[in-house]
Amino acid sequence: MISSVLFVIVALAAFGLAWKGFSRVWQNIRLGKAEPIGGHTAERWRNVVMVALGQQKMFKNWIPAVLHLFIYVAFIITQVELLEIFVDGIFGTHRFFAPALGGFYTFVISFIEILSVLAFVATIAFLMRRNVLNVQRFQKPELKGFPARDANTILFLEILLIVGIFSMNGADKVLQTRGLEHFYPTGAFAVSTWLGPALFGNVDTGMLMGIERFGWWLHILTVFGFLVYLPYSKHLHIILAFPNTWYAKLSAKGKMDNMPDVQKEVRIMMGLEQPEPGAGGELPEFGANDVFSLSWKNVLDSYSCTECGRCTAACPANITGKKLSPRKVMMDVRDRAEEVGAALAVSKASKAEYNDGKSLFDRITPEELHACTTCNACVEACPVLINPLDIILQMRRYEILTLSAGPGEWLPMFNAIENTGAAWAMSAERDAWND
């Protein structure tokens, strides 16, 4: 009874803290401006099933894809055993599903144990890749500090989950052989049936029951810890990958949205449209300079980023030594959203009232923006359909059209387009040949 009450208290506390964290993320995503997204339901479902659920784009790089698949499938299937732990924790039962499911229960737990072993192998491999083998895309400046610790923290939590599972199952299998009424015979599990006796066969019954409870509590407390930590971690992508792939743009990669105000000015300049009487006044802002002028989908992209670095590894600008890193762009947008969201939560101000004198340009430099070749390599490489290029182009638009700034070598082209309608500086009007 005491154990059940303690479990409920811990579970409610964990869910409450997790709700607070996820609510913060939701509020930060809503800092972005509205962007209506709809239509093509079948194609959107295909993206969710093939890309988010099926990991389709991961398999462009087979070794990490297979390792990631081990952890991913183990994570999904283990929820079956987690459901049983919840039932047992609330009602004080032990292996509640075992009597009803019989041999199928033995098969399911055995399958979970095999997946857990594969996940353990994958976890060790990922720790080696990040900390020993020094894979190049994990050694970039933007991953120093918390991002590196964050990745390792999750991997260590994976190990704790696996230790909990096999401590619980291994001790349980030995206790079953000792004929204790509480420990219902469940058949032979694939791993713990031999691992349990090998590790705990000579342990006395009282200590063995303590090990079984230790494994049970270690597993569920690690799950609760992971749940509370998730909103602050890059591993939030395990949830946000699904809405992010659903809302991903379905238009051709690199296609830019027209700006009606600019389009109208160009048509007037070319004589295709007459200016409206009394038109003029304050010019609108073009592009984006902060999370408020990005769309909510851009901010969702930043929170969905796995920090895997495939975008940066594929970026020709980064490969040739330029400062641009698409991964850093996404991390900078997320960090800025966190900064603004925290300030708004304290000040209780609205988005329209907020102004801290900062913008994304304090984090993403013009040098980074100018290095982009708009080749879409980053967009193609992303395993969850994030679009760093869209953010880069919006910030470029703001720099050039709103700030009237930009690289000096670009200005002659802009002046020529404005004066003659041609990209090259020419002494005659572009349509002079038609006279």
Confidence band of 428 (pLDDT split at 50, 70, 90):
low
CB-based contact 168:215 (threshold 8 Å):
yes
**Helix residue ranges, H only, 30-145:** 41-47, 62-91, 98-101, 103-131
CB-based contact 166:215 (threshold 8 Å):
yes
Give the C-alpha separation, 354 to 414, whole Å: 33
Tell which phi-psi region holds residue 398, choosing left (phi > 0), alpha (psi between -120 and 50) or beta.
alpha
CB-based contact 65:310 (threshold 8 Å):
no
Q: Six-digit token pair at 132?
A: 């020993």
Q: Six-digit token pair at 101?
A: 């499911």
What does the pLDDT look like over 192-248, one tens digit per residue?
999 999 999 889 999 999 999 999 999 999 999 999 999 999 999 999 999 999 999
Q: Is the pLDDT of residue 372 over 90?
A: yes
**Mean pLDDT in residue range 372-394:** 95
- Bridge partners of residue 295, in order along the sequence: 33
Q: Is 40 helix (H, G, I), strand (E, B) or coil?
A: coil
Residue 135: how many other CB atoms lie within 10 Å:
15
Give the C-alpha separation, 418 to 424, whole Å: 11
Name the more confident of 186 and 305. 305
Q: Which residues contact 5 (CB under 8 A, 6 or more apart)?
A: none
| pLDDT score of 274 | 75
Radius of gyration of the chain (CA): 28
Q: Six-digit token pair at 354?
A: 């907020």
Residue carrying the six token digits 């009606």: 260
Phi, psi (deg, nearest 5) at residue 33 = -75, 165
| Alpha carbons within 13 A on the beta-carbon side of 132 | 5
Percentage of the chain lying above the pLDDT 90 cut:
67
Give the C-alpha separation, 108 to 114, whole Å: 10
| pLDDT score of 228 | 96
Pseudo-torsion of CA 53, 59, 62, 65, nearest 10°? -30
Q: Is the pLDDT of residue 175 over 80?
A: yes
Length of the chain: 435
Give the C-alpha separation, 143 to 331, whole Å: 10
| pLDDT score of 283 | 66
pTM value is 0.89
Question: What is the helix (H) or strand (E) element at residue 393, kind and residue range?
Answer: helix 388-397
Name the more confident of 36 and 385. 385
| pLDDT score of 68 | 92
Work out the burial of residue 118: count CB atoms within 10 Å of its CB; fewer than 13 is exposed, 13-18 middle, 19 or more buried.
middle
CA distances from 371 to 323, 376, 377, 403 (A): 7, 13, 13, 19
Residue carrying the six token digits 């291994």: 170
Confidence band of 40 (pLDDT split at 50, 70, 90):
confident
What does the pLDDT look like over 298-349, one tens digit per residue?
999 999 999 999 999 999 999 999 999 999 999 999 999 999 999 999 988 8
Question: What is the helix (H) or strand (E) element at residue 278, kind and residue range?
Answer: none
Sign, CA dihedral 399-403-404-405, equals negative
